Amino acid sequence: MSGQPSVALQSPPGQPSTGQRTLRTLLICFPLLLLVVDFCVFPRLLTSRSRAGDLTIEQLFAETAPATYLGRFSLHELYASTGSFTEAEYLQRLRAQTQPAGHVALVATVFADDTPPNVGIPQLLLALMNNMTPASQMTLANLLYEHSNAGPGSTYWMALQGAATDSKAVDVDRLYLIHLPTKPPGAIRDALAKGLVSVFQDIATQRKVNGLILPFLAVGPDSNGLTVDDFMDVLLKKALKASQAPRFIYLSPYSQWPPEFQESVFASLTQHLTEAGGEGLLLRLYRFEWRLALLSLTLCLFICSKQVPIGPKAAIVIAVAYISMLLESFKLIEWAAAVDPQAGASVAIMLGKSATAIIEALGFPHFVRWGVKELFTPGAQGT
Give the pLDDT confidence of 6-23 residue by residue, as tens digits. 444 344 455 667 877 888
**Residue 369's domain spans which residues?**
18-42+287-374
Res 379: pLDDT:
52
Res 342: pLDDT:
47
- Nearest residue to 102 via CA among 253, 217, 245, 252: 245
Burial 130-139 (b: 16+ CB within 10 A, else e): ebbbeebeeb
Cβ-based neighbour number of residue 189 at 10 Å: 18
CATH number of the domain that residue 208 is part of: 3.40.220.10
Q: Are residues 228 and 135 in the same domain?
A: yes
Res 192: pLDDT:
93
Which carries the bigger pLDDT value, residue 99 or residue 306? 306
Res 279: pLDDT:
52
Give a yes or no: residue 379 inside a domain.
no
Q: Are residues 236 and 314 in the same domain?
A: no
Total domain count, the chain: 2
* Domain end (from 233, 257, 283): 283
Give a yes or no: residue 4 inside a domain.
no
**26 close to 235: Cβ distance less than 8 angstroms:** no
Res 160: pLDDT:
77
What's this model's pTM, rounded to 2 decimal places?
0.66
Cβ-based neighbour number of residue 262 at 10 Å: 19
Give a yes or no: residue 196 inside a domain.
yes
Res 10: pLDDT:
45
- Nearest residue to 199 via CA among 144, 239, 247: 239
Which carries the bigger pLDDT value, residue 60 or residue 281? 60
Q: Are residues 62 and 184 in the same domain?
A: yes
Q: Are residues 327 and 207 in the same domain?
A: no
Mapped onto helix, strand or coil, the DSSP state of residue 119 is: strand
* Domain end (from 267, 283, 299): 283
Q: Are residues 259 and 353 in the same domain?
A: no
Rounded-to-integer distance, Cα 212 and Cα 246, Å: 7
Give a yes or no: residue 104 inside a domain.
yes
Q: Are residues 141 and 34 in the same domain?
A: no
Which carries the bigger pLDDT value, residue 380 or residue 229? 229
Kindly report, residue by residue over 186-237, the tens digit of the pLDDT. Answer: 889 999 999 999 999 998 887 678 888 888 888 888 767 788 899 999 998 8
Give a yes or no: residue 103 inside a domain.
yes
* Domain end (from 283, 309, 324): 283
Residue 363: pLDDT over 60:
yes
Residue 374 — very low, low, confident or very high, per pLDDT cuts 50/70/90?
low
